[in-house]
Structure 1
Amino acid sequence: MSNGLIAIGEYNGTIQIWDINKKELVGTHGVENDPILALAIDPRTSNMVAGTKKGKLFLLKANMERDGGIP
């Protein structure tokens, strides 16, 4: 969790980022047919790392409001 944000990785390759204060979905990122197995958010920088079953790593920005979305 970073600044009231949580990230959920799904087996279908989707990452959902939720704002728990507003109770709303603020962003998604998908990797087709590659299950998300690990997520970590740095609370100081709002950077998020996601790891997949096939060994891919993604560095994303978790704070949508400040940074304008996930690349």
Structure 2
Amino acid sequence: MPYGPEWERLVAPDEQLRLLDHAHGSLSALAGHLHEATGGLAGAVGPALGAAAADAVGSTEHLTWETLEHALTRSL
């Protein structure tokens, strides 16, 4: 999928994440990084977000590029 508004909408619904210290809307700033890391593979975003969120539960309680990158290396 090319990078653009549709890709950004794919990453945007981070309000669904149930993390105590996550700033809603913060994933939009990482949309470009996610696109580059996944090669635009839309199907990789959901599993990576889920894995990163699971890692954050009970520890940082928020997502960062580092937690996402770690999850991507496990899921791709």
TM-score, normalising length from structure 2? Answer: 0.29
The structure in which a higher percent of residues are strand is 1
Higher RCO, 1 vs 2 (CA within 8 Å, ≥6 residues apart): 2
TM-score, normalising length from structure 1? Answer: 0.30
The structure in which a higher percent of residues are helix is 2
